[in-house]
Chain A
Amino acid sequence: MSCALPFTDADCVLLEHGSGGRLSHRLISELFYPAFKNPLLQQEHDGCVFPVEAGRMAYTTDSFVVQPIFFPGGNIGDLAINGTVNDLACCGAVPMYLTAGFILEEGLPLADLQRIVETMSRSAAKANVHIVAGDTKVVERGKCDRIFINTGGIGTVPPNIDISPLRAAVGDAIICSGNIGVHGIAILSARESLGFETVLQSDTAPLNKMLSALLAQHEVHVLRDPTRGGVGTTLNEIARSAKVEMVLDEAALPIPETVRAASELLGIDPLFIASEGTVLVILPEKAAAEALSVLRQFPEGKNAAIIGRVTASGKASVQLKTGYGSHRIITMLNGDQLPRIC
């Protein structure tokens, strides 16, 4: 993929790029079309018309406002594709088509936009999805933070797949497919005001191929990516939906040393830090060991671990079994985690 006319650092987004006139047209034809090129996108229509199969479809949308927009291991473009692809995959769907809506702040260097769009193109190819419709708006300086992206996505759900938080049941195992908290700490370390640097890179990645392989071989009850709010919040949400009690094993949690160390410094709990390239899988315990080996065949799943079990029904709770036998309750957070004073 290459852009017909690469933009220089001096070129930047102007209000006219969103006005529908000549500059809008150039932006679309010279930047978006070459990057996202596919026949469905290039119908030159108000929307995309595509054939459908009989059966069930999954449909989702997500908006991305990450700051900073470039961070170790990726940028807002990776998140915009992977986030929506993973949301579809967590519905048990095979992601097919995405839409992308851009809200740009005037003054954003076109080279930055180009870099982001090229990243989106690469991520979409990796996930085997096509971007089939899009929109661009430009707002005055100060009205948004450089770039916001919304992506919508649609996919087909194969027969016999029934993924829902309501299905978490007593006797299920809880698997975490990858490391906890890596993305959140990578973002925090990239923020200018923090003043410490870690070697961590965001692990944002499309997980649909790994999950398709898993679903082809095993009955899975729940899939959920623990993005905002992290593993702690996500499991609480599932426990509340299914009204079940979950017990996690503290020693089994795949939390890398760097995430633990940074969390201690900042006074935050890794269980509530956003993870991107990780998915929580809840499935009957008898299939857990085999499911683990399926996940571990993929680079995104090499750190997969069984982190806990669904132990009772009737009352929603998430508990953490500590090494010395006491149980800590993991509750929902009151807003963002803020660092402690001392």
Chain B
Amino acid sequence: MQYLDDYRDSARIRTLTDAIDRATTRAWNIMEICGGQTHTIARYRIEEILPSAIRLLHGPGCPVCVTPVSTIDHAIAIARRPNVIFASFGDMMRVPGSQTDLLRVKAQGADVRLLYSPLDAVELAALHPNREVVFFAVGFETTAPVHLMALSEARRRALTNFSLLTSLFAVPPAIAMILDQPDNRIDGFLAAGHVCAVTGNAPCQRLSAKYHRPIIITGFEPVDILYGIYKCICQLEHHESRVENAYKRAVPEAGNPAAQQLMNDFLEPATREWRGLGAIPSSGFRLREAFAEFDAAQKFPLRETAPHAAIDTRCIAGEIMKGNRQVVDCPCFDTICTPTHPLGASMVSAEGVCAARHNYNQQ
């Protein structure tokens, strides 16, 4: 805990806010990309201790939030099959599909298990050879290698009753899409440290070079986030746009080659629909054709497609995640839209900005 306490230390926090204060001469908009950072910002009320000239915008950094409703519906349909054990991380359990959610179908008799690791799902498959074990593999580049490690283990043990329902996203194409908007107002970015711990700095370098924005690779504790903001402000004030690593204790320059290799072996880029943002080319991954037998979407195709839930036009989650609008602009926030009845992506999981603000009672 010593290790964490150092990054929540109030004296260090004050030193950094003072430094940010001194460095800031004009208004800047900074977007953090990771939902973990969004959560910390809301939990520790980082915005309250920053100069008012700095506005934080909250990007599409939560894979649970951006998983489309159609994928949740597919998960629910698979979970309802009589011979299936459907396993998932906890935060997908309450995410509503068009009709219901995984917790409710569990209550109705489906065998839905909450696991802490996809490797536990492999153990389940070994333990229940006559049943099909499906793991809901949701995530960015951060989590994808863990799912693939499970898949690799299932192959090694020749388990044919294990598969993944994937909802895997790549962050850089979504950021590029946001920056391609002609009227976007984002001056700089805090990149997700854990994504970079896998991918390395190169994807950020490409984005920074193309769009001329500072990108600071940032961690998840209050001191990390303030340090990232400080570095970003320093560059902006000096008209610089480089990639800087402010999370060196976790992110090596080249990332994690073993994880990259695993991703390259099993996955190929694919167009993905992001809830709230729509379809973005090459913004996600699918399993390569050679591993189709482990692809739950192919193994258990939807017999009939549920009618698409009408998108509530009052929800501005997409605009919030693109940095164009703020939670405060939304008339639905905390009135008709709550974590129990989310209208859109950013209210779906605790790491979406709307839910984080709801949970910490902040507009």
Cα distance A195–B350 in the bound complex, in angstroms: 25
Q: Which chain A residue has the least Cβ–Cβ distance from B124? A: A193
CB atoms of B4 and A264 under 8 A apart = yes
The reply to whether the CB of B45 lies closer than 8 angstroms to some CB of chain A is yes
A264-B4, A341-B63 known; A328 vs B10 contact (CB < 8 Å): no
- With known contacts A334-B340, A340-B90, A340-B351, A193–B120 Cβ distance under 8 A: yes
Bound-complex Cα distance A325 to B45 (A):
10
Q: What 1/0 flags go to B345-363 for Cβ under 8 Å of A?
A: 0000111000000011110
How far, in whole Å, are A326 and B10 apart by their CA atoms in the complex?
Answer: 10
Q: Which residues of B contact A341 (CB under 8 A)?
A: 63-64, 89-92, 138-139, 143, 349
CB neighbours (8 Å) of B211 from chain A are none
| Residues A329 and B94 in contact, CB atoms below 8 Å apart | no
Contact of A329 among B8, B139, B340, B362 (CB under 8 A): B362
Whether a CB of chain B sits under 8 angstroms from the CB of A324 is: yes
For A257, list chain B residues within 8 Å (CB): 1
Residue B286, interface by CB 8 Å: no
Query: Is the beta-carbon distance between B120 and A338 smaller than 8 angstroms?
Result: no
Q: Which partner residue on chain A sits nearest B8 by CB separation?
A: A323
- Enumerate chain A residues within 8 angstroms of B194, measured Cβ to Cβ: 342
Query: Which of B10, B92, B116 contacts A322 (CB under 8 A)?
Result: B10
B93 interface residue per 8 A CB criterion: yes
Residue of B nearest to A336 (CB): B90
Given known contacts A324-B14, A342-B36, A261 and B351 CB-to-CB distance under 8 angstroms: no
C-alpha gap A329/B339 in the complex (Å): 16
Q: Which residues of B contact A334 (CB under 8 A)?
A: 94, 339-340
Q: In chain A, what residue has the closest Cβ to B194?
A: A342
* A159 contacts partner chain B, Cβ-Cβ < 8 Å: no
Residues of B within 8 A of A322 (CB): 10, 44-45
Task: Say whether, besides A329-B362, A331-B360, A334-B340, A339 and B116 are in contact (CB < 8 Å).
Answer: yes
Given the complex, which residues of A lie within 8 Å of B180, measured CB to CB?
none
Could you tell me the distance between the alpha carbons of A338 and B94 in the complex, rounded to whole angstroms? 9
> Are the C-beta atoms of A339 and B339 separated by less than 8 Å?
no
CA distance in complex: A257, B64 (Å): 30
A-B contact count (CB 8 A): 81
A339 touches B360 (CB 8 A): no
Convert B62-80 into 0s and 1s, putting 1 for each residue whose CB lies closer than 8 angstroms to a CB of A: 0110000000000000000
In this complex, which of A264, A325, A341 has the most chain B Cβ atoms within 10 angstroms of its Cβ? A341
Return the CB mask of B5-47 against A: 1 if under 8 Å, else 0. 0001110011000000000000000000000100000011100
Q: Is the CB of A328 within 8 A of B360?
A: yes
Contact B91 A338 (CB under 8 A): yes
Quick one: which of B192-211 are within 8 Å of A by CB?
194
Q: Please classify how large the interface on chain A is, using the bins under 10, 10 to 19, 20 to 34, 35 or more.
A: 20 to 34
CB nearest to A260 among chain B residues: B1
Of B48, B91, B339, B340, which one neighbours A326 at CB under 8 angstroms?
B48
Q: Please give the distance in Å from B121's CB to the nearest CB on chain A.
A: 11
Report if B114 contacts A (CB, 8 A). Answer: yes
In the complex the two chains form, what is the Cα distance from A266 to B361 in whole Å?
Answer: 23
* Smallest CB separation, A248 vs chain B (Å): 14
Which B residues are in CB contact (< 8 Å) with A338? 90-91, 93-94, 114
- Tell me whether A122 is interfacial, beta carbon within 8 Å: no
In this assembly, does A335 line the interface, its C-beta being within 8 Å of a C-beta of chain B?
yes
Q: Is A10 an interface residue (CB 8 A)?
A: no
B residues near A328, Cβ cutoff 8 Å: 43-45, 360
Task: State how many angstroms separate the Cβ of A149 from the closest Cβ of chain B.
Answer: 23
Q: Mostly helix, strand, loop or mixed at chain A's interface?
A: loop
| B49 contacts chain A at the CB level, 8 A cutoff | yes
Bound: A337/B148 CA distance, A: 27
A:297-342 near B, CB below 8 Å: 317, 322-329, 331, 334-335, 338-342
Q: Is B142 an interface residue (CB 8 A)?
A: yes
The 8 A CB mask of B122-153 against A (1 = contact, 0 = none) is 00000000000000001110110000000000
Cα separation A322 to B12 with both chains bound (whole Å): 13
Which residues from chain A contact B142 at a C-beta distance below 8 Å? 342
Q: What separation, in Å, do the CA atoms of A84 and B205 have in the docked complex?
A: 61
Per the bound structure, the CA–CA distance linking A329 and B360 in Å amounts to 5
- Closest residue of chain A to B13 (Cβ to Cβ) is A324
Chain B residues positioned under 8 Å from A194 (CB to CB): 116
Chain A residues lying within 8 Å of B10, measured Cβ to Cβ, are 322-325
CA distance A340 to B103 in the complex (A): 16
A195 touching B90, Cβ below 8 Å:
no
Is B53 part of the contact surface with A, judged by Cβ < 8 Å? no
- A187-220, CB under 8 A of B: which get 1 and which 0? 0000001110000000000000000000000000
Q: B36 to chain A: which residues have CB within 8 Å? A: 340, 342
B7 smallest CB distance to A (angstroms): 11
The CB with the most chain B CB atoms within 10 A, among A317, A324, A339, is that of: A324
Min CB distance, B171 to chain A, in Å? 12
Q: Write the nearest CB–CB distance from B86 to chain A, whole angstroms.
A: 15
Contacts A334-B339, A342-B143 given: A195-B120 contact, CB under 8 Å?
yes
Q: Are A264 and B44 in contact (CB under 8 A)?
A: no
How distant is the Cα of A260 from the Cα of B116 in the complex, in angstroms? 18
B9 neighbours in A (Cβ, 8 Å): 323
Q: Are B49 and A329 in contact (CB under 8 A)?
A: no
- In the complex the two chains form, what is the Cα distance from A298 to B132 in whole Å? 54
Also in contact, A261 and B1, with CB within 8 A (given A326-B49, A328-B360, A341-B143): yes
Interface residues of A in 230-284 (CB under 8 A from B): 257, 260-261, 264, 266
B66 shortest CB reach to chain A, Å: 12
A277 to B9, CA, bound (A): 30
Chain B neighbourhood of A325, CB < 8 A:
10, 49
- Residues of A contacting B361 in the complex (Cβ-Cβ under 8 angstroms): 317, 329, 331
Residues of chain A within 8 A (CB-CB) of B349 are 341
Nearest A residue to B192, CB-CB: A342
Most chain B C-beta atoms within 10 Å of own C-beta, residue among A260, A266, A331, A338? A338
The 16 sampled A-B contact pairs (Cβ below 8 Å) are A193-B113, A193-B115, A193-B116, A257-B1, A317-B361, A322-B10, A323-B13, A326-B44, A328-B43, A329-B362, A331-B361, A338-B93, A340-B351, A341-B143, A341-B349, A342-B194
Besides A322-B44, A325-B49, 10 other CB < 8 A contacts? A193-B120, A194-B116, A322-B10, A322-B45, A325-B10, A326-B44, A331-B361, A340-B89, A341-B138, A342-B36
Q: Which 8 A-B pairs have the closest CB atoms?
A: A338-B90, A323-B10, A329-B361, A324-B10, A326-B45, A324-B13, A339-B90, A341-B89
